[in-house]
Amino acid sequence: MVQLNVLLADAQQQASNHEANSMLNSMFNKENLDKFKIGVDQVVQLLAQTLDVQQKPFSGIFPHELAKQFSDIDLNQPLFDIQEALTEVTQLYLKDAVYFNNPRYLAHLNCPIVYQSILAELMATAINTAVETWDQSGGATFIEQSIVDWTLSKLALGKQADGVFTSGGTQSNLMAMLLARDFQCQQHTGHINKQQGLPQDFKRLKIFTSQVSHFSIQKAAAILGLGYDSVVSVPCDEYFRMDVNALNQAIKQCQQQGDIVMAIVATAGTTDFGSIDPLAQIAAIAKQSGAWFHVDAAYGGGLLITPNNKHKLAGIACADSVTIDYHKSFFQPVSCSAFFVKDKQHLSVVTYHAEYLNPLSQQQAGTPDLCNKSIQTTRRFDALKLWFSLRTVGAKNLGLAFEQVMHLARQAYLLLASEAHIEIIHQPQLSTLVFRFIGDGSTCNQDLDELNKFIRKQLSRQGDALIAATKVADKQYLKFTLLNCTTTISDIQHVVRLIKQYGYQYLASDLANQQTPLNTPVKEVSYG
C-alpha cells in the first residue's frame, strides 16, 4: 500500500513537472524567442489572409447566432497548439469582427489606426511595462510625461499644468468632476472631502453642460454621489452648440435657489453632431460664476495638430481641465487617452501614499511616480503608441488625416443635402452627419422612426456598410461618423444608395404592418 502511494505521488509530481515545463516553454524570454517569432509570423500571416478576404465591415451575424458557437468551448481543456488556437480565434472572433479600417464603416467614433502604433503596442505588451511607479517603468515614465507635456504645449494651459493617461474619455471626465467637486467644497465650506468625506450641503453642487454632451457627465455625477439631478442640461442653438444665453439664465436660476455652480462642461466635438461649444464665451461665464471650467475634447482634440483648423478650439487655454482621446482623432489603438489640468496641485485629490509602492519619501525625493496623479494604480504603457507614431508618422500627417475626413464630411453633407428624400439637420463642424430617410415626405414621424430603424438594421444584417443611429427631439435619425481617411465620396455614395434601396423596399412592401425577418434577402428596387 505504501509503495502504491509512493508511485501515485511520483506520477503526480511528474505531471506537475510537465506542466511547469510547459509554462517555462511559454514565457517570453530569450530562450523562447525563436518560438515567439514563429508565433508572430503565424499571426501576421493570419491577419494578411483576413485582410485579403475581408470585403465588408461586418458579417451581419446576430448575437444569438454567434453565441451558439461558444456553447461547446471548454476553457479547462487547452488546445496546446498555436495554429489550432488561431483557427479557433478566426472562427469565433475574426470572422465576425467589426472592421473599422473598412471604408464603409461609418458608425461610431472608432478610427482605423496607423500600423506603427501596433508595433509600439507589441513592444509595450511584450515587456509588460506597468507605468504606475518609476521603479516599474523607468524610461516609460518619461515617455508618458513627454507626451503629456507635448499636448499641454498645444493646449497652452500654462506652466503649472500637468496631466496623466487614462482609459478613455469617461474616466477623464470623471476625474474632472472629481477635482471640481473637491475644489468647490473646499472653496465654499473649507471642507476637505479627501479626508473628511462630503459636507452636509453637497447637494447644492450643480454641473452645467449642453443637452447633447456626453453621457459620462451624468455617469460621473452618479459615481461621485451627486446624482443625475445635479446635472443641469443647457439647451443648444441651431448648430447644436451650448446656448450661452440659456447658460446664463440657468446659472442665475441656480444661484437664486442658493445652489453652487460647481462646474461648466463645454464640449469640443459632441458625439452626435461634432459640434463645438463657444469655448471662449463659456470660459468667461465660468470665471464670472466661479465655476470649474472643463472642456471635453475627446473627439475634437485632434484639431490641435491640424494645419488649418486649430482656431476651432479658441478658448480651450482657459480651461481648468481638458479631456482628449488619442484613440479617436489621432488614429491610435484603444485605449490611448489623457486628462489634463491647468494647476497640477489639484491632482493631489487622487494621491495616496502606500509605503510598499509610492511612499511620500519618494515624492519628496523627486521620484516621478505617475500613480500619484491617477485614479488607477496598474496602468498599461499606452503612451508609447502615440510617441512612436509622432516619431515615425509625424504630428502634421496625423493632423492632415483628420482634416481629410473633415473635408469628406463636407462633401457628404452636400451629397445628402442634394437628395430630395433625405433630411439632414446640420452642417458638419468635424466629421459626423445626422440625417434620416423621409421618402416622398408623406410618411408620419412614427412610421419614419420605424423606417429608419429598419434601414440601419438591414445595413447591419447585410454587412455591406455600418452606420449609427441617434434620436433628436425624440425622432429617430441615422448617423455617419467619418474617421477613415481611406473612405472616399464614392463609398459614401454607395452607402446612400443602399439607404435609399432599403428605405424604398420598406415602403413598397408596407413592412410597417408586417413582421418581416431581417435576414430576408433584399431585392433590388427601382427608385428616383
φ, ψ dihedrals at 206, nearest 5°: -130, 140
Of 166, 186, 409, 204, residue with least CA distance to 296? 166
In the chain, CATH 3.90.1150.170 sits at 397-513
Q: Do strands 337-341 and 162-166 pair parallel, antiparallel, or not at all (unpaired)?
A: antiparallel
Q: What pLDDT tens digit does each residue of the chain (528 aa) get?
A: 556 565 555 555 555 555 557 789 999 999 999 999 999 999 999 999 999 999 999 999 999 999 999 999 999 999 999 999 999 999 999 999 999 999 999 999 999 999 999 999 999 999 999 999 999 999 999 999 999 999 999 999 999 999 999 999 999 999 999 999 999 999 988 889 989 988 888 999 999 999 999 999 999 999 999 999 999 999 999 999 999 999 999 999 999 999 999 999 999 999 999 999 999 999 999 999 999 999 999 999 999 999 999 999 999 999 999 999 999 999 999 999 999 999 999 999 999 999 999 999 999 999 999 999 999 999 999 999 999 999 999 999 999 999 999 999 999 999 999 999 999 999 999 999 999 999 987 777 779 999 999 999 999 999 999 999 999 999 999 999 999 999 999 999 999 999 999 999 999 886 555 544 444 444 433 333
- Secondary structure tally for the chain: helices H, strands E: 18, 12
Question: What gap in Å lies between CA 248 and CA 243, rounded to an integer?
Answer: 9
Of 513, 522, 402, 426, residue with least CA distance to 465? 522
Q: What is the DSSP letter of 242?
A: B
pLDDT given for residue 515 in this prediction: 46
pLDDT given for residue 2 in this prediction: 57
Q: Counting Cβ atoms within 10 Å, is residue 184 exposed (0-12), middle (13-18) or buried (19+)?
A: buried
Q: What is the DSSP letter of 264?
A: E
Q: DSSP 3-state assignment of 160?
A: coil
In the chain, CATH 3.40.640.10 sits at 161-353
**Omega within 30 of 0 (cis) for the link into 335:** yes
Are the C-beta atoms of residues 159 and 328 closer than 8 Å to each other? no
pLDDT given for residue 526 in this prediction: 36
Q: What is the pTM of this model?
A: 0.92
Handedness of CA 487, 488, 492, 498 (dihedral sign): negative
- The DSSP bridge partners found for residue 336 are none
pLDDT given for residue 521 in this prediction: 47
Copy the grid coordinates of residue 81: 497548439
Percent composition of the chain: helix, strand, coil (DSSP 3-state, to 5): 50, 15, 35
Between CA 214 and CA 225, with CA 219 as vertex, the angle to 5 degrees is: 145
Q: CB count, 10 Å around CB of 39?
A: 15
Q: Which amino acid is at 363?
A: Q
Stretch (H or E) spanning 183: helix 169-189
Q: Counting Cβ atoms within 10 Å, is residue 307 exposed (0-12), middle (13-18) or buried (19+)?
A: exposed
- Kindly provide the residue ranges of all beta strands, DSSP E only, lying in 310-392, ordered along the sequence: 321-325, 337-341
Copy the grid coordinates of residue 48: 494578411
What is 161-353's CATH number? 3.40.640.10
Edge-to-edge strands of the sheet including 475-481? 105-106, 466-472, 475-481, 432-437, 422-424
Copy the grid coordinates of residue 433: 452627419
Are the C-beta atoms of residues 207 and 263 closer than 8 Å to each other? yes
Question: What gap in Å lies between CA 127 and CA 124, rounded to an integer?
Answer: 5
Question: What gap in Å lies between CA 527 and CA 281, rounded to an integer?
Answer: 47
Question: What gap in Å lies between CA 272 and CA 277, rounded to an integer?
Answer: 13
Question: What gap in Å lies between CA 208 and CA 265, rounded to an integer?
Answer: 6
Are the C-beta atoms of residues 223 and 252 closer than 8 Å to each other? no
Q: Which residue has the cell 473633415?
A: 406
Of 115, 57, 38, 49, residue with least CA distance to 87? 49
Question: What gap in Å lies between CA 324 and CA 295, rounded to an integer?
Answer: 9
- The widest CA-to-CA distance across the chain, in whole angstroms, is 90
Fold of 397-513: Aspartate Aminotransferase, domain 1 (3.90.1150)
In the Cβ-directed half-sphere of 79, how many Cα atoms lie within 13 Å? 10
